[in-house]
Amino acid sequence: MLWESVKLAMRSVRRNLLRSVLTLLGIVIGVGAVIALMTIGSGATQKISADIAKLGSNMLIVRPGGQGPGPPGGNDARSFNERDVDALRKGVRNVRAIAPSANKQSTVVFDATSSDVTVTGTDEAYFIAQDWSFKAGGTFTENDVRAANNVCVVGTTVVSTVMAGVEPLGQTIRIDSMPCTVVGVLGSKGQSAFGSDQDNTIIMPLRTFQRRIAGNTKIASIAVSANSPADVKPAQDAITEILRETRHMGKSAVEDFSVRDMTQIAAMMSSTTTIMTGLLGAVAAVSLLVGGIGIMNIMLVSVTERTREIGIRLAIGALASQVLTQFLVEAIVLCLFGGFLGVLLGLGLAGLATVFLDVPFTPDPRVMLMAFTISGLIGLVFGFFPARNAARLDPIEALRHE
């Protein structure tokens, strides 16, 4: 009996295909929006988590300049020096690495090719703090750092732009006319959360950088990697306390440096995504409501059109419940069809969007199942009133209906 109703419903949808599809637009758009948003949202979340991992685990970034929003470290901000770094190394517990660094946009030249690149001066702890891996070679040594040797580690983008087809290890490249021997090639990290290419980088000992590239002894930032997530907050407090002391700041003075927890920044970014998803989800809900009302409308029309048919069915012995079931099933089948079209639309939109937004395309079968279930429920809820009308018809009146 139920299967008969399903077959009948499918036939009815096929007969009025255009009308059915137009009626279903609300459902299609609603479901499509939900699917697209969930798919894009989960892709974005994955990308953000991946970005957090790229930033380095349990990372704190110490920079000159106030705690406020916007890019830290203006020109007038007091930068750090080696004394600050030494004090941190002595005083902060439960950290894996403390790496001072400074960087500058420079030009790298190899043979006749040149390219713009970010050059960072730091020490060997930097690779640990930033979770860098090595594709070839390795880090420069503590001795290189102390002696300010002309050695460097290059990112994969540098290799592919200026050293294509050459074994990079042992080659001498020129950075702002300073010759420098390549001792390691970094593993690829891809784009940062802010869209810059993290692989277009050259890393060298801090003192080499200060003397030969920057021409000063400023330290622009200090990366600190805590042992575990629980150690991040105590480390943050310890860093603040120590730096206030080394920088001779009075008790009431506002800090002229910031200690940022990278996971906080990432969490802020993903909460923005959540708000957007929520807002657009509300739009989808309204669309589904409108779609449901459309379903009710078309089912009422269908019941009126088929009054005579209902009369025949009642006369030959259909129970009121059987007529109710038939029209309910029809509304549900109609909505499931809409849900199906909506899933296709949503996946299509999400597919396009993920290409443009450069996030992974991750369709979730559970979300699709949920969308189907919601469509079915809409059919059940909004189909009930028309179906009840059909079931309550008087057979004599219904048979007389033209």
Partner 1 sequence: MISLREISRDYGVGDARVKALASLNLDIDAGSFVAIMGASGSGKSTAMNILGCLDRPTHGAYLFNGVNVTNLSRDGRALLRRNYLGFVFQGFNLLARTTALENVELPLVYRGLSRATRHKQALAALLAVGLNGRESHTPGELSGGQQQRVAIARAIVTDPLVLLADEPTGNLDSERSHDIMRLLQTLNRERGITIIMVTHEADMAEYATRVITFADGHVAQDHAKVFA
Closer CB to partner 1, 109 or 318, in the complex: 318
Residue 128: which of 117, 118, 143, 138 has the closest Cα?
Answer: 138
Closer residue to partner 1 (CB): 25 or 399: 399
From 316, 356, 365, 366, residue interacting with partner 1 (rule: CB under 8 A): 316
Q: Which stretch binds partner 1 (CB under 8 A): 108-116, 134-142, 211-219, 308-316?
A: 308-316
Q: Does 1 bind partner 1 (CB under 8 A)?
A: yes
Place of tokens 């069915």: 313
What part of residues 8-47 is at the interface with partner 1 (CB under 8 A)?
15
39 within 8 A of 273, measured Cβ to Cβ: no
Q: How far is the CB of 5 from partner 1 (least distance, A)?
A: 9
Residues 155, 99: Cα–Cα separation, whole Å: 18
Tokens of 277: 């998803």
Figure out which of the listed residues 145, 314, 332, 371 binds partner 1, where binding follows CB under 8 A: 314
Half-sphere exposure for 84 (CA within 13 Å, toward CB): 26
Q: How distant, in Å, are the alpha carbons of 105, 112, 253 from that of 81? A: 21, 37, 20
Pairing verdict, β 201-205 and 59-64? unpaired
State which of residues 322, 347, 351, 353 lies at the interface with partner 1 (CB under 8 A): 322
Q: Per CB under 8 A, does 399 bind partner 1? A: yes
User: Phi-psi bin for 185: left (phi > 0), alpha (psi -120 to 50), beta?
Assistant: beta
Of 59 and 398, the one with the shorter C-beta distance to partner 1 is: 398
Q: Which stretch binds partner 1 (CB under 8 A): 46-54, 109-117, 201-209, 316-324?
A: 316-324
Q: Using alpha carbons, list the distances in angstroms from residue 114 to 109, 136, 163, 176.
A: 4, 22, 10, 10
The size of the interface with partner 1 (CB under 8 A), counted in residues, is 20
The verdict on 275 binding partner 1 (CB under 8 A) reads no
Judged by CB under 8 A, the stretch of 94-102, 168-176, 305-313, 377-385 that binds partner 1 is 305-313
- Of 250, 321, 356, 366, the one binding partner 1 by CB under 8 A: 321
Rounded CA separation 310/139 (Å): 83
81 vs 322 by CB, closer to partner 1: 322
Q: Does 395 bind partner 1 (CB under 8 A)?
A: yes
* Residues constituting the chain: 402
Contacts of 350 (CB under 8 A, 6+ apart): 35, 36, 39, 40, 43, 361, 363
Residue 91 binds partner 1, judged by CB under 8 A? no
Nearer to partner 1, 55 or 324 (CB): 324
Q: How far is the CB of 47 from partner 1 (least distance, A)?
A: 53
- CA atoms lying within 13 Å on the CB side of residue 288: 26
Q: Identify the residue among 178, 312, 347, 381 touching partner 1 (CB under 8 A).
A: 312
Instruction: Rule CB under 8 A: choose which of 320, 352, 355, 369 binds partner 1.
Output: 320
Q: Note whether 313 and 2 are within 8 A (CB).
A: no
| Minimum distance of partner 1 from residue 309's CB (angstroms) | 6
Distance CA 125, CA 292 (A): 60
Distance CA 323, CA 50 (A): 55
Question: Which region among 131-139, 270-278, 303-311, 360-368 touches partner 1 (by CB under 8 A)?
Answer: 303-311
Q: Name the site residues for partner 1 (rule: CB under 8 A).
A: 1, 4, 15, 308-309, 311-322, 395-396, 399
